Structure 1
């Protein structure tokens, strides 16, 4: 039976908000390279990173009715995650729904389907990550579910999970892991800052990480071009 779950538990807000500053790649690495959505989900325009808590919805192909239903369940700081029950690239979402969600404090949309009104959405500053850009319209006939676990772009999203999205893609952090992953991401940033400064000073990764012995063990050899020309 189609249902709407109204009382979901959301990831801690301050910890979730902090994740946007790390970005998708760092968060993905920090949690053991898990939670990354398929690369078919791309931003409809380039913009800053966002993070927020997931409100989930399933929709029938070519039918955006449940997005309207899900909007009622959205709160400030949420990100709406929409997954069709079967393949569809219709334009489920445009500037009107963008206005509705933005008014409710929603930070963005992740949809494994199509989006349209790209210029308008960019002008109003509402970010969307979608499978396709497609002007094809939708109907309102078929029920789905709101705030149940969904598979979006080959990744499981539970309502209340943290979502991080930027120009590199989208990553999901389980609700209970947000603080831990944030701490790991911070440690990773600090470690990378040190590496970056050493690279900027002219050091090679080969020497910083003592790679040369392993490369030799694998059989890598260095030769002079003149020696190669003599061999020929």
Structure 2
């Protein structure tokens, strides 16, 4: 299944929120979904390591870097750690780096752009807070669905069993 989001919009149009933000796909996994864990941080990815070190089974990390692309909030080392801890994907409202390597990894990664510069480590940021990104609310515990068409959010898990019948 390459186009999950159009099918979800057709079936659950009233139950989903579209994130109207153009992001690039950098990870090797193009279709992914999971429960949202949020992190708000600005040009400091110290807390990303802490979060992706935890079990991420069935989860997607949504990092709100306020759209800044001056420093990369995610690179291959953190993505590898996330993959090893079973995270489904990572969304960055900011920049990523090591994108050639990210493309070879079986994890979903979306970001606004690339930047080769790493962040400073100041241990700043807010975890599990409600985010506002592109005039869209992103709540901890939301379900996030992503593919090459973009990102959808839902307050509850959506039944995907109808997709098996279509194949």
TM over 0.5: yes
In structure 2, the residue matched to 1:102 is 83
Match of 2:152 in 1: 171
Q: In structure 1, what is the equivalent of residue 63 of structure 2?
A: 82
Determine helix, strand or coil for the equivalent of 2:80: helix
Give runs of ≥4 in structure 1 deviating > 6 Å: none
Is the 1:44–1:133 contact (alpha carbons within 8 Å) kept by the matching residues of 2?
no
Larger-Rg structure: 1
TM-score normalized with structure 2 length: 0.83
Instruction: Write the mapping of 1:96-135 to structure 2, written as runs, cut at 5 A.
Output: 96-135=77-116
Secondary structure in 2 matching 1:40: coil
Greater relative CO, 1 or 2 (CA 8 Å, sep 6+): 2
Alignment of 1:1-232 (within 5 A): 23-29=4-10, 30-32=12-14, 34-44=16-26, 47-60=29-42, 62-84=43-65, 86-89=66-69, 90-175=71-156, 178-179=157-158, 182=159, 186=162
1:200 corresponds to: none
Cα distance change of structure 1 residues 132 and 154 upon mapping to structure 2, 3 Å threshold: farther
TM superposition score normalised by structure 1? 0.62
Aligned length: 164
The CA deviation string for residues 17-42 of structure 1, in whole angstroms up to 9 with x for no partner, is xxx88711222342338411123223
Deviations along 1:91-138, whole A, 9 cap, x unmatched?
111110011111111011011100111111111222211111221221
The structure with more helix, counted as a fraction of residues:
1
Which segments of 5 or more consecutive residues in structure 1 lack a partner in the other structure? Answer: 1-19, 194-232
Identify, as 1 or 2, the structure richer in strand: 2
Distance of 2:114 and 2:122 partners within structure 1 = 22
CA contact 1:55–1:73 (8 Å) conserved in 2? no
RMSD: 2.7
